[in-house]
Structure 1
Amino acid sequence: MSDSGDRELNEFGYTNQLRRTLGGFHTFAAGISYISVLTGVFQLSYLGLSEGGPAYWWSWPAVFAGQLMVALCFAELAAHYPVAGSVYNWAKKLSNPHLAWMAGWMMLLASIVSISATALAYQRTLPQISSFFQFIGDGTGTSDAANGVLLAALLIVFTTLVNAFGVKLMARINSAGVFVELLFAVLLVVFLAFHLVRGPGVVTETNGTGAGHAGGYLGAFLIAGIASSYVMYGFDTAASLGEESLNPHRNAPKAIMRALIASFLLGGLIILFALMAVGDIHAPELGTAGLQYVLTDALGPAVGRMFLFVVFIAITVCVLAVHTAAIRIAFAMARDNALPCGSKLARVTEKTGTPVLPAIVIGVLAVALLLVNIDSTQIFSAVTSLAIILIYLSYLLVTVPMLVRRLRGGWPREDAPPGRFSLGRWGLPVNVLAVLWGGVMTINLAWPRNEIYNASPPYHWYLQWISVLFVGVFAAGGFAYYWFVQRHRIGVLADHAAPAAGGPEEGSR
Structure 2
Amino acid sequence: MKRELGLYASFAVAFGFVSIATGIFTTYGAVINSSGPRGIWAWPIAVAGQLTVALIFGALAARIPISGYAYQWMSRLANPILGWLMGWISFAFLVVVVVAVDYTIAATVAPELFGYVPTAANSWFVTAIVMLIQAILVVWSTRVTNRVNEIAVTMQIIGMVGITVLLFVVGAVTGQIDLSRLFETAPVAAEGYWDLGGLTEVGPFPLAFLLGAFTIVGFESAANLAEETKNPARVIPRAMMQAVLALGILGMLFLIAVTALAANTTALAESATPVASVITAVLGPFVGKALLVLVVVSIFSCGLVITLSGTRLIWAMSRDARFPGWQVLRRVNAKRHTPVAATVAFFVITQLILAIFAFTENALFVLFSAATLLPAIIYAGTTLLYIIKRKSLPPSQGFTLGKWEIPVIILASVWLIYELAIFRDDSFAEPRLYVLIMMAIGGVYLAYLLITRGKKGLTMPEMGDVDRAFDSATVDNAPAAETTTTTEGQK
- Structure 2 residue 68 is matched with structure 1 residue 85: yes
Following TM superposition, by how much is the alpha carbon of 1:293 offset from its aligned partner in structure 2, in angstroms?
1.3
Task: Give the whole-Å Cα distance in 1 for the aligned partners of 2:2 and 2:47.
Answer: 33
Among 107, 127, 151, the residue aligned to 1:176? 151
Does the Cα contact within 8 Å between 2:178 and 2:261 map onto a contact in 1? no
SS in 2 for 1:395: helix
Following TM superposition, by how much is the alpha carbon of 1:270 offset from its aligned partner in structure 2, in angstroms?
0.9
Following TM superposition, by how much is the alpha carbon of 1:433 offset from its aligned partner in structure 2, in angstroms?
2.4
Gap regions ≥5 residues in structure 1 = 1-17, 454-464
Does the Cα contact within 8 Å between 1:94 and 1:398 map onto a contact in 2? no
Judged with a 3 Å threshold, the aligned counterparts in structure 2 of structure 1 residues 318 and 326 are, in CA distance, closer, same or farther, namely: same
Give the equivalent residue in structure 2 for 1:198: 177
CA distances 1:244-275 after superposition (whole Å, capped 9, x unpaired): 01121221111100111111111111111011
Pairwise CA RMSD of aligned residues? 2.6
Does the Cα contact within 8 Å between 2:152 and 2:297 map onto a contact in 1? yes
- Write out aligned runs for 1:417-428 (5 A): 417=397, 420-428=398-406
Task: Give the whole-Å Cα distance in 1 for the aligned partners of 2:211 and 2:240.
Answer: 21
SS in 2 for 1:351: coil
Following TM superposition, by how much is the alpha carbon of 1:351 offset from its aligned partner in structure 2, in angstroms?
0.6
CA distances 1:213-265 after superposition (whole Å, capped 9, x unpaired): 69648710112221221110100011111110112122111110011111111
Following TM superposition, by how much is the alpha carbon of 1:82 offset from its aligned partner in structure 2, in angstroms?
1.9
Task: Give the whole-Å Cα distance in 2 for the aligned partners of 1:226 and 1:396.
Answer: 16
| 2:369 partner letter | S
Following TM superposition, by how much is the alpha carbon of 1:508 offset from its aligned partner in structure 2, in angstroms?
6.3
Among 99, 103, 106, the residue aligned to 2:86? 103
CA distances 1:358-417 after superposition (whole Å, capped 9, x unpaired): 1111112212222234432336642542232122112222110110113xx214x4x445
- Write out aligned runs for 1:65-464 (5 A): 65-123=48-106, 124-131=108-115, 134=116, 138-139=117-118, 144-196=119-171, 197-207=176-186, 209-210=188-189, 216=195, 219-285=203-269, 288-378=272-362, 381-406=365-390, 409-411=391-393, 413=394, 415-417=395-397, 420-444=398-422, 446-449=423-426, 452-453=427-428
| 2:244 partner letter | L
Give the equivalent residue in structure 2 for 1:14: none
Give the equivalent residue in structure 1 for 2:10: 27
Does the Cα contact within 8 Å between 2:6 and 2:230 map onto a contact in 1? yes
SS in 1 for 2:266: coil
TM-score using structure 2 length? 0.87
Does the Cα contact within 8 Å between 1:336 and 1:491 map onto a contact in 2? no
Does the Cα contact within 8 Å between 1:279 and 1:298 map onto a contact in 2? no
Task: Give the whole-Å Cα distance in 2 for the aligned partners of 1:312 and 1:46.
Answer: 17
| 2:78 partner letter | S
Task: Give the whole-Å Cα distance in 1 for the aligned partners of 2:26 and 2:187.
Answer: 23
Task: Give the whole-Å Cα distance in 2 for the aligned partners of 1:190 and 1:214.
Answer: 31
SS in 2 for 1:21: coil
| 1:372 partner letter | I
Among 458, 464, 472, the residue aligned to 2:436? 472
Task: Give the whole-Å Cα distance in 1 for the aligned partners of 2:266 and 2:425.
Answer: 28
CA distances 1:36-79 after superposition (whole Å, capped 9, x unpaired): 11011111100111111110111110101111110010111122
Judged with a 3 Å threshold, the aligned counterparts in structure 2 of structure 1 residues 111 and 499 are, in CA distance, closer, same or farther, namely: closer
SS in 2 for 1:324: helix
Judged with a 3 Å threshold, the aligned counterparts in structure 2 of structure 1 residues 405 and 500 are, in CA distance, closer, same or farther, namely: closer
Task: Give the whole-Å Cα distance in 1 for the aligned partners of 2:486 and 2:405.
Answer: 26
| 2:305 partner letter | A
Task: Give the whole-Å Cα distance in 2 for the aligned partners of 1:416 and 1:387.
Answer: 31
CA distances 1:451-504 after superposition (whole Å, capped 9, x unpaired): x34xxxxxxxxxxx33444333432442342133367254679xxx97978xx9
Task: Give the whole-Å Cα distance in 1 for the aligned partners of 2:362 and 2:261.
Answer: 32
Judged with a 3 Å threshold, the aligned counterparts in structure 2 of structure 1 residues 295 and 350 are, in CA distance, closer, same or farther, namely: same
CA distances 1:125-162 after superposition (whole Å, capped 9, x unpaired): 1222223xx4xxx33xxxx2222111111110001000
SS in 2 for 1:257: helix
| 1:437 partner letter | W
Worse-superposed segment, 57-66 or 378-387: 378-387
Task: Give the whole-Å Cα distance in 2 for the aligned partners of 1:181 and 1:215.
Answer: 34
Judged with a 3 Å threshold, the aligned counterparts in structure 2 of structure 1 residues 508 and 439 are, in CA distance, closer, same or farther, namely: farther
TM-score using structure 1 length? 0.84
Give the equivalent residue in structure 2 for 1:45: 28
Gap regions ≥5 residues in structure 2 = 198-202, 470-482
| 2:136 partner letter | L
